[in-house]
Amino acid sequence: MPYPMHILVNDFAIRSFRETADKDYITARMAYRARLIQPFLWSALHCLEKYVKGVLVLNRMNAKDLGHTVLPGIERMKRSGKFEIELSANTVQFIKGLEDYGAKYRYYEVSYEIEPFDIVRLDRAVWELRRYCQSLDYDIVDMNGKTVNLLAHELDRVHRAKAKHEKGTCVMGGVLEKIIKKKDHPAREALIWNNLFFGPSRRKGVKMRPESESGNSPFFLHPEIIDEVVKYVYIPKDIAEGVRQFAKQQAADKAKAEQDAEKAAKPAAKKSRKSD
């Protein structure tokens, strides 16, 4: 007997979005621990992006044309009128940083930076967002034969768990849950290392060095190379145009500095000749 269509669609959303997001999350934590910051930012953004798309599809909202973004999908949920995702101000700021500073770019097209303890901010963002990545808006038929929608009940369940600061995200049988349960899983250590939001530990705090890191894109250091580079590799149009404008500004600033230096040198030269 074939499965009903709604079950197959849910299976698609879970496997294509939530399960791959769970793996991206662990990959991001591994990269951060190894001080591979660009892969950390890339995996962090893709992890959160996929959770949002999973929430949308599992609850039958449009997930098209969102690209590698998070906040526009959350805003789309709000506009749908079904429910809103509750995110802390720190989580919104962390996500906005990923989106605004180009975590979606893989080839150092833009510069990057992280703040101390960004891995904890990622852990909290996943903890807050992932709990919605399950089927919440669905109907059942009660004992009286009446169709009942359980969205309000499900939202109350996940919000109560969050209010109690329970570890995990009320998702049953997800990739993270299976890895935490399986003590010999090769990804388990990377998932629970210094993790206040997932895992068996009851710790209320962790010791971590407050390290930050940044790096300048080759296009920031030498914007004049852009038109030569685009002959050989694809650079997104908005990035290429931004680099060209930056190169023009750099050239203009350099020309002005040279002119100012020349003007400053003339009076000094005249004064020197008079003294001779």
Same domain flag for 156 and 249: no
Please report which residue ranges of the chain form alpha helices under DSSP H: 5-13, 19-33, 37-58, 71-80, 89-100, 118-129, 151-163, 175-181, 188-192, 218-221, 226-229, 237-275
Residues 61-96 have pLDDT tens digits of 999 999 899 999 999 999 998 999 999 999 999 999
Alpha helices in 14-70 (DSSP H): 19-33, 37-58
Q: What is the pLDDT of residue 161?
A: 93
pLDDT at residue 103 tops 90: no
Tell me which DSSP letter residue 246 carries: H
Asked whether residue 180 falls in the same domain as residue 260, the answer is: no
CA 165 to chain centre: 22
| Cα distance between residue 92 and residue 112, in whole Å | 18
Domain end (from 200, 215, 230): 215
Segment 257-275, tens digit of pLDDT? 888 888 877 666 566 666 6
Tell me: do 169 and 99 sit in the same domain. Answer: yes
- Statement to judge: residues 270 and 204 lie in one domain: no
- Give yes or no for residue 169 having a pLDDT over 70: yes
Number of C-beta neighbours around residue 42 at 10 A: 23
pTM of the model: 0.88
Per residue in 172-206, pLDDT (tens digit) is 999 999 999 999 999 999 999 999 999 998 888 88
- Cα 88 from Cα 134, distance rounded (Å): 20
Co-location of 76 and 183 in the same domain: yes
* 162 and 268 share one domain: no
Are residues 206 and 225 located together in one domain of the fold? no
Beta-carbon contacts of residue 227 (< 8 Å; ≥ 6 apart): 244
pLDDT score of 112: 87
Q: Provide the token pair at 111.
A: 């510069």
Mean pLDDT of 202-229: 87
- The pLDDT mean for the chain works out to 91
DSSP summary character for residue 224: G
C-alpha R_g of the chain:
25
Q: Are residues 239 and 144 in the same domain?
A: no
Boundaries of domain holding 21: 5-215
Where a domain ends, among 171, 188, 215? 215
What pLDDT is recorded for position 105?
87
Same domain? 117 vs 246: no
Residues 107 and 28 in one domain: yes
Sign of CA dihedral 94, 97, 98, 103: negative
Q: How many domains does the chain have?
A: 2
- Residue at which a domain ends, from 215, 237, 253: 215
Q: Residues 5-51: pLDDT tens digits?
A: 899 999 999 999 999 999 999 999 999 999 999 999 999 999 999 99
- How remote is the C-alpha of 14 from its chain's centroid? 19
* pLDDT for res 27: 98
**pLDDT at 2 exceeding the cut of 80:** no
Residue 241 sits in the same domain as residue 125: no
Give the mean pLDDT of 53-59: 97
Q: For residue 22, how many other CB atoms are within 10 A of its CB? A: 25
Spatial separation of the C-alpha atoms in residues 262 and 267, rounded to whole Å: 9
- Range in 28-42, 89-103, 149-163, 201-215 with the lowest mean pLDDT: 201-215
* Cβ neighbourhood burial of 261 (10 Å; 0-12, 13-18, 19+): exposed
% of the chain with per-residue pLDDT over 90: 72
Q: Tell me the one-letter amino acid at 62.
A: N
168 and 244, same domain (yes or no): no
> Span 248-262, mean pLDDT?
86
Alpha-carbon gap, residue 194 to 203, rounded angstroms: 9
Confidence at 1, pLDDT banded by 50, 70, 90: low
